[in-house]
Each structure stands twice: as C-alpha cells, then as structure tokens.
Amino acid sequence: HAKAGGRGRTEHFSDELAAQLTDRAQLEVDLRSAIERGQFALVYQPQMSLTDGRIVAAEALLRWHHPTHGIKLPASFLQRAEETGLIVEIGDWVIAEVAGTIRRWADAGMEQRLAINISQRQLDHAMFFRRLRDAMHAAGAPARLLELEITETLAMHCSGDVIEAMAALRADGATIAIDDYGTGNSSVARLRTLPIDRIKLDQTLVEHIATKVEARQIAQSMIGLIHGLGCEAVAEGIEAVDQAEILRVIGCDVVQGFAVAEPMDEQTLIAWSRGGDQSEALAS
C-alpha cells in the first residue's frame, strides 16, 4: 500500500500490480547480472532456398540461460531490455558473438550468411555501425556473410544517417533484410529508397496459405511486390511442408521455419548442415 500525496488518501495497489512492479524491477536486476555472468547464448535457424534446397543463411536468435527459470525466449525479456537501454550492451555481445561465428564458418568453408536482429535502441546509438564494423574486423569475419535484419516499422522511421550507414555496410558486401514484413504500415515508396536485399514475409501472412485461397493470393501479390522492389522474398515461420510447396509455386525464394528446422546451437547446426538432414526436411 502506498500513500498518495499529503491528503491522507491511501491508494491500494492491487496485489497483482505490485507483483508486476516487483517482477519488472527483478527482471532489470537479473538482466544486468546476465550480461556480467555470460548467461546469453545464440541459437541459429537455417534458411532454405526453394530453388535448390540449399541452406543459404541462418538467423541468430537470442536465448537467456536463466539460473532459476531455465531458457528464456526474447519475448519474456526483450521489451524490458529495450526500455532500460540494456539491449545496447546485449546487442554488442550479440555482434561480437556473431562475428566470431562468421569467422569460424568462413574458415570451415561454409558460405551461409548469418543474420542478426537489430532493435531501435541500437540504431539510435550513433556508433552502432562503427562498433559492428570493428567487431567484424576484430574477428576477421568477411562482411559478405553478414546480414542485418531490421523490422518493417523500424525501416519506416530510421534517419538519413542510418540509411547512409546501411548503404556503406552494404557496399562492404553485407546484406540488409526487412523483418516481419506485413505487420507494420510501410510505404512502398519508402521501401524503394532503402538499401535492402531481402524482405521477410511475416508468419501471419503465410500461416493460412495452404487452406485459404485469399491468403495464398495475398502472399503471391506480396512476393510479386518484393521482386518488383528488386529484393528476394523470404517466408518466416513455415511449419508445414505443404506451405513450403505452395510458396515455391508462387515464386517465394527462401523459407525459414520449423518445417525446415528449429533454431539450433552452433555445433548442432554444423553437424546438421553436413549430415544432409536438410534435404529430408522438405522432401517428404
């Protein structure tokens, strides 16, 4: 219970609200120590070409090995990390980790790109692109194997400076993807001006394509639009083989989702890539 002002009125927080506030505060404390104690890890989810079945890239996804709660997904902590600005430090860790992974893959002759997710707060930092470049240099990681994913919403609002920095990174060989396309309200005019290579159709746009004609027609139109913009179309969250087959027929270039593979740790992904399991994934 908290006393409000000096008027003797007592405001009663509901137990639930009080508990939520404690949870939020605790989460912030836990996030800070997670960085210091090295509790973050990355898992990698492969992206498969619908043209030849090859694995062309993998997306790095953040996991938190919490000492008491087990493995936590981004949905449970990312928003708090963004509100507190801790995402900047976490993001720097992600960048360093991914740069190291890219170097190891390049050394092993693996030509898959590695995609990382970037949030608004990271792009707000003027030095972000400099730090990214430094991390890649320090690891000896070739830029051609790096892809940046920025959400559609973020892409609509980023500054001219950010666009310039993206273009420079792209000139070095990196690629840029628009993430969660179809969930924000982007303008095609704006998309045309952005230095981008790939557009990822959000899961919500492809989940019903196997059962609903309209869903399939909409997906097909959007793939046409993406190609019209000179980009490759990637479909996210493909859970069934029949979705992938339809996507191939309607011209989608690449798929990512549980139907291909779930996100895996680095060693498992390397073994999986070499084992040829990936050709079985969508072949059945």
The residues binding ligand C2E (CB under 6 A) are: 45, 61-62, 73-75, 78, 87, 91, 94, 117-119, 149, 179-180, 236-239, 257-258, 263
Q: Whole-number minimum distance, CB 181 to ligand C2E, in Å?
A: 10
Q: Which is nearer to Mg ion, 72 or 198 (CB)?
A: 198
Q: Which is nearer to ligand C2E, 19 or 174 (CB)?
A: 174
Q: Whole-number minimum distance, CB 89 to ligand C2E, in Å?
A: 12
The single residue among 45, 47, 101, 117 that binds Mg ion, judged by CB under 5 A, is 117
Q: Is 122 in the site for Mg ion (CB under 5 A)?
A: no
Structure tokens at 273: 């890539």
Give the number of other Cβ atoms within 10 Å of residue 191's Cβ: 19
The single residue among 149, 207, 232, 266 that binds Mg ion, judged by CB under 5 A, is 149
Q: Which is nearer to ligand C2E, 30 or 236 (CB)?
A: 236
Q: Which is nearer to ligand C2E, 13 or 258 (CB)?
A: 258
State the binding string over 169-188 for Mg ion (x if CB under 5 A, else -). Answer: ----------xx--------
Residue 266: name its binding partner from Mg ion, ligand C2E, none (Cβ under 5 to 8 Å by kind). none
Q: Whole-number minimum distance, CB 75 to ligand C2E, in Å?
A: 6
Q: Which is nearer to ligand C2E, 19 or 141 (CB)?
A: 141
233-252: contacts with Mg ion (CB under 5 A)? 236
Q: Which is nearer to Mg ion, 57 or 86 (CB)?
A: 57
Looking at the DSSP bridge assignments, the partners of residue 114 are 58, 146
- Residues interacting with Mg ion, by CB under 5 A? 117, 149, 179-180, 236
